[in-house]
Amino acid sequence: MGVMREDLLCSGHAACPGCIEALSLRHVLAALGPDTVAVIPPSCLAIMAGPQPLSGLRIPVYQPPLAASAASASGLRRALDARGKKDTQVVVFAGDGGTYDIGFQCLSSAAERNENILYVCFDNEGYMNTGAQKSSSTPHFARTGSTPAGKPTKKKNLTAIMAAHDIPYAATASSGFLPDLLRKVEKTKAMRGFRLITLLVPCLDGWGVPEDQGLALTRLAVESGVFPLYEVEDGWRYTLNGPFKSRPVRDYLAVQSRYRGLDERDVATLQREVDEGWARLLAHAQRNCVAPA
Amino acid sequence: MKALLTGNHAVAWGARLARPQVVPVYPITPQTPVLELLTEFHAAGELAAEMLTPESEHSVMAACIPAALAGARVFTATASQGLMLMHELLHYAAGARAPIVMANVNRTVASPWAFWPDQTDSLAQRDTGWVQLYVESAQEALDTVLQAYRIAEAASLPVMLNLDAFYVSHALEPVHVPDQATADAYLPPYAPEHCLDPARGESWGNVVTQEMYCRHRRELDAAMARVPAAALAADREWQALTGRGWGILERYRCDGAALAIVTLGSMCGTAREAVDALRDAGVAAGLLKVRLFRPLPAAELRAALAGVRDVLVLDRNFSPGVGGVLHQELRGALYGMTHAPRVQGYLAGVGGVNVPPSKIVELAHRALQEAPSLEAAWA
């Protein structure tokens, strides 16, 4: 891991102590560099970006309405292109609510148009900025403000859906594996077209995790296979980045109060779901050796 | 050149002549021919704009706003449900002071589904902070697109020009299409004071305090207050270049009029015939066409209607619980005026119901004979 070239996230922003989202944002920004304009919809990220007249980011930020991030970034991109600023990066920093749910329609359309945008989803698996309610990224059985008995359905598979748009690049990453994350941001900088990176960002308050355990939890998420690190290029070339699944999902659940009260059958259900997801991913990665006709 | 154009195609020609740099657009009846002609211009290399065809009007307006804030001239067009879907972004655009120009083809709002001329769609957006102009003909539509950019960029406000479904959008008329040199002389390239650009480091949309929010609204108010003068200046310069001026209000045969018909859009064409018929029959009638509806030019309306005994407002729109929007607005503008005219409102042509000149003549006689009622009456 190299030394951070330039810190584009200012100190003094309003994120919670120990926030993994702020940490992730800091590294993504540093990798992107200063010739970047960010689109940040309502989210914890927007809290870090403000309030007026201060700015937490040393780059221009446009804050769109919640349902409109990818569409807004498209308009911004086209305007910069029209003004000859084709090398300036346009990046979306959005939460999972703004991505998986209310912003999903325009996200799909921007991907279909293959707009030249990097979209980074800071996925903390719920509406954490409004006090931890369920989104379609919230995992099975997790308790939130709107699922007090635990969410009855599984998490939406954003990477698979977006890869199915045949976009140049869709990947998962995590600040627990920083060299992998930075490599992915650098890789997308050199690409054109629609690129998506989904970062798993434990929300300390929303998930019920001690302040000093956020980063450790991102590693547990990967090592338990709950959040595998992988890349999909052009919709079909899957690459598993590792580390691979090596420990039971129980280890990941135990440190989070959002999973409190799970019985053995629930834990077994989650283990089976993780195993099935992992098997599907492996099958994709193995098919990778054969180019499509 | 002179060409036979529909209102929609005249709008597309106006947009082409304005040299927009970003055009996000979504098809909707009866606006679709605007989109199709713009994409044809683009495909033929005659319109050097970035064209986007997103999945909804919400995304269209979402794309328009930061494109304008990033320093590009932006055009789009919509109608009815599309405008409804944009509603959140209409407020957002005005708050961001984005000088977008949009044509809206006035069409009924569902439910139930219908595709007829009715201005409820745009009039329901009167509080969003958009300048609103209503046009009567294809020629006026073309000229107004270019004028709208002058107003939008002078006041840093978005401008919506409204043309009635089918009566204007699909009717063919001979239209003078100015040459590009004339349009360029009238409308210099867009050079905004502020810009989203890493070289400048400016941002938009950050959370503000109560005082900052209030100050933004007051600045919006001040910008709106500058619009009537900006619109008149834009119109005068256009008239000097092309010989065609439209004003912000038009008084047709209003001199010495005892009765003035006040309305918006294509209804003005019908009302002109009615006025001629009334004058022929010895009734001193005139027409006051309201071209600029937002901001409402209250002082100009008062001056234009001074000395008139009866005003007949024709509203091709319906605001349930109030009646006609123009009727309500005009009464507000005239309230407290010394020797204010009597104002009678009629809901005429709501849902695209045909209103022939004879119907307006009949309503004029009713307005002259009856004491005006508080509520608008169904014509």
Question: b/e for A122-151, b at 16 or more Cβ within 10 A?
Answer: bbbbbbbbeebbbbbbbbebbbbeebeebb
| Contact assessment for residue A142 and residue A271, using Cβ atoms and an 8 Å cutoff | no
CATH number of the CATH domain containing B82: 3.40.50.970
| pTM over 0.95, yes/no | yes
Q: What is the CB neighbour count within 10 angstroms for residue B81?
A: 17
pLDDT, residue B188, reads 97
Would the CB atoms of A52 and B206 count as touching at under 8 Å? yes
Domain boundary among B190, B209, B242: B242
Distance of residue A88 Cα from the nearest chain B Cα, in angstroms: 8
Neighbours of B303 (CB within 10 A): 11
Interface test with A, best of B21, B22, B102, B200 (most A CBs within 10 A): B22
Q: What is the CA radius of gyration of chain A?
A: 18
Cβ within 8 Å, pair B62-A37: no
Tell whether the torsion through CA atoms of A212, A199, A178 and A5 is positive or negative.
Answer: negative
Q: Which residues of A touch B208 (CB under 8 A)?
A: 51-52
Are residues B171 and B254 both part of a single domain?
no
Residue type, A210: P
Instruction: Give the residue-averaged pLDDT of B353-369.
Output: 97
Q: Are residues B43 and B103 both part of a single domain?
A: yes
User: B71 to chain A, minimum CA–CA distance in Å?
Assistant: 7
- Residue B259: Cβ within 10 Å count: 23
* Sheet of strand A89-95: strand arrangement: A61-62, A36-39, A89-95, A118-123, A195-200, A169-173, A230-233, A237-240
- Structural domain that includes position B51: 2-242
- From the CA of B32, how many Å to the nearest CA of chain A? 20
Q: If one looks up domain A20-287 in CATH, what number appears?
A: 3.40.50.970
Look at residues B242, B270, B293 and tell me which one is the last residue of a structural domain: B242
Interface test with A, best of B55, B56, B97, B200 (most A CBs within 10 A): B55
Going from N- to C-terminal start, the domains of chain A cover 20-287
Claim to verify: residue B309 and residue B231 sit in the same structural domain: no
For residues B130 and B119, give the distance between their C-alpha atoms in angstroms, rounded to a whole number: 15
pLDDT digits (tens, 9 = 90+) for B282-339: 999 999 999 999 999 999 999 999 999 999 999 999 999 999 999 999 999 999 999 9
In this predicted structure, what is the pLDDT of residue A287? 85
Examine the domain organization and report whether B284 and B219 are in the same domain.
no
User: Could you tell me which of B123, B166, B161 has the C-alpha nearest to residue B144?
Assistant: B161
Domain identity same for B158 and B183: yes
**Are B302 and B360 contained in the same domain?**
yes
Last residue of a domain, one of B242, B275, B293: B242
Give the separation between CA B170 and CA A6, rounded to whole angstroms. 57
Residues B176 and B277 placed together within one structural domain of the fold: no
Three-state secondary structure call for residue A237:
strand
Q: How far is B199 from chain A (nearest CA, A)?
A: 8
- What the block records as the tokens of B62 is 């979402």
Tokens of A27: 């590294």
User: Residue B59's closest chain A neighbor by CA?
Assistant: A71
Please say whether the beta carbons of A244 and A293 come within 8 A.
Answer: no
Alpha helices in chain A (DSSP H): 20-32, 44-49, 69-82, 96, 104-112, 158-163, 178-189, 204-207, 214-223, 249-254, 264-287
Are B341 and B352 in contact by the 8 Å Cβ rule? The answer is no
Give tens-digit pLDDT for B28-50: 999 999 999 999 999 999 999 99
Phi-psi category of residue B365: left, alpha or beta, with phi > 0 → left and psi -120 to 50 → alpha: alpha
CATH number of the domain where residue B290 is located: 3.40.50.920
| Residue of A32, A52, A81, A165 to mutate when probing chain B, most B C-beta within 10 A | A52
> In this structure, are residues B268 and B119 in contact, taking their beta carbons and an 8 Å threshold?
no
Q: Which one of B56, B67, B200 has the shortest CB-CB distance to A75?
A: B67
A2 contact partners, CB below 8 Å, separation of at least 6: A182
Mean pLDDT value across chain B: 97
Structure tokens at B230: 């900006």
**Regarding beta strands B101-106 and B131-134, do their DSSP bridges make them parallel or antiparallel, or are they unpaired?**
unpaired
Query: How many structural domains compose chain B?
Result: 2
Per-residue 3-state assignment (H helix, E strand, C coil) for B300-357 = HHHHHHCCCCEEEEEECCCECCCECHHHHHHHHHHCCCCCCCEEEEEECCHHHCCCCH
Together in a domain, B225 and B305: no
B 302-361 residues with CB below 8 A of A? Answer: none
pLDDT averaged per 10 residues, chain A (length 293):
75 93 97 97 95 94 98 98 98 98 98 98 97 97 97 98 98 97 97 98 97 96 98 96 95 96 96 97 83 49
